[in-house]
Structure 1
Amino acid sequence: MKVLVPVKRVVDYNVKVRVKSDHTGVDIANVKMSMNPFDEIAVEEAVRLKEKGAAAEIVAVSCGVAQCQETLRTAMAIGADRGILVQSDAELQPLAVAKLLKALVDQEQPGLVVLGKQAIDDDANQTGQMLAALLDWPQATNASRVEVQGDRVQVTREVDGGLETLSLALPAVITTDLRLNEPRYVTLPNIMKAKKKPLDTVTPESLGVDVAPRLKTLKVAEPPSRAAGVIVPDVATLVDKLKNEAKVV
């Protein structure tokens, strides 16, 4: 079985993002970029499936600027067999990415698509669901456990009331949650091996996909700073402030 793993290049989660002075977006000039953490979990899970014998090949896919090749090389250092970059300088919104992935799925014919539940830059949490809808494939989101059993995959996901277990017929789309696994440390020998693995580059035009943005960002602003706390002399004053000022009682 072939596993397709989309990965996204985002601002590193350790970096404090800054809003541009014109409020058109986030400033990424000279900022450290890395693979989206949820996508890293997806790559790790695909590698574990291959180690168990459930997967034969892992194809990492990224959509975006040329620098996304670095993200794909990281995925291949973790264990992906090859990479595909859909190179575009346009603003790629979730629907456009889902359409690009569908075109690649039609070409590659994977048995399973595993991707992060959301990207930490826009927190859209839409691409996986849109892809499943476009493909008309079964989907399981926020997976905390994945087991391939023959022509089906069993996915455990956390819900408000506890754990929910789904059984999906393959092919299927799965989005990963933080508790699914802990990605392995990428060693230097694997980084060197990743440089020799095949990486193909295609364009949205060659896939026949229109990636024109459907949404317009009006303004990006930092959240308001948190107000300082207040020390109250007694419980009665606390209740009064909660009731009359905060209006939460």
Structure 2
Amino acid sequence: MTTVKQRQVGVLLREWRERRRLSQLQLSLDADISTRHLSFVETGRSKPTKEMILRLSERLDVPLRERNSLLLAGGYAPAYPASGLDVPELAAVRAALRQVLAGHEPYPALVVDRAWQLVESNASVELLLEGAAADLLVPPVNVLRLSLHPEGVAPNIANLGEWRAHVLGRLRRQAAATADPALAELLAELRDYPCDQPEPEVELPGASDVVVPLRLRHGDRELSLLSMTTVFGTPLDVTVAELAIESFFPADQSTADFLRSRSESAEFA
């Protein structure tokens, strides 16, 4: 039997520094430590304290989940809890999420976790899911997979090439920022999905464009939606830190009128 040696915390900290494109001098100045001390930490000549690991993690903007991993590699207990969303301690968080979702009606809004798994949604999200294969809607639902899969939402997206480039670019940046192998795998999977439209290599605005819209075919009409992401401002729990609300707003008056009339019709049905 062989035992895989745990990677040293100094090596991991160096990788995070390099990922953030910082020199030892830049990080040492920002963290208020000597370059010599930082070098010793990265090479394993000096064992960092728990406080030092947390200070460097903060300066490197390391996600909470990975901060716990750094602490474990340094021989310390994790500092940040990773609670289940259904625990009593997160009751206020659940209430806030549901209030935002309900208040966003009649426009679609949904909550996702770090892996883009669907956590919760409002009733208007059904509009986005029409025509998707049933197996893609079996929990856990990955909303990025659902949006770009040829049996998912993709056939209904009028500007699939443009929207796909936006989604893949965003996921690529997230995977690079978090160093999450699961996100890298998801990115590779989504890149292999077919697309019959040209994809811009660089996201540049067209005439009068200020954001990339989601142009969705719905029957004989085309809906145009803008998306906005909302996160908790001061999370100290891994689960809460990894939640995000994806809200969609009408990008034109005809889309707004349709969504409102659709909601009113559902109320009186």
TM-score, scaled to structure 2: 0.24
Higher RCO, Cα 8 Å, sep 6+: 1
Q: Which structure: larger Rg? A: 2
* Larger fraction in strand: 1
* Larger fraction in helix: 2
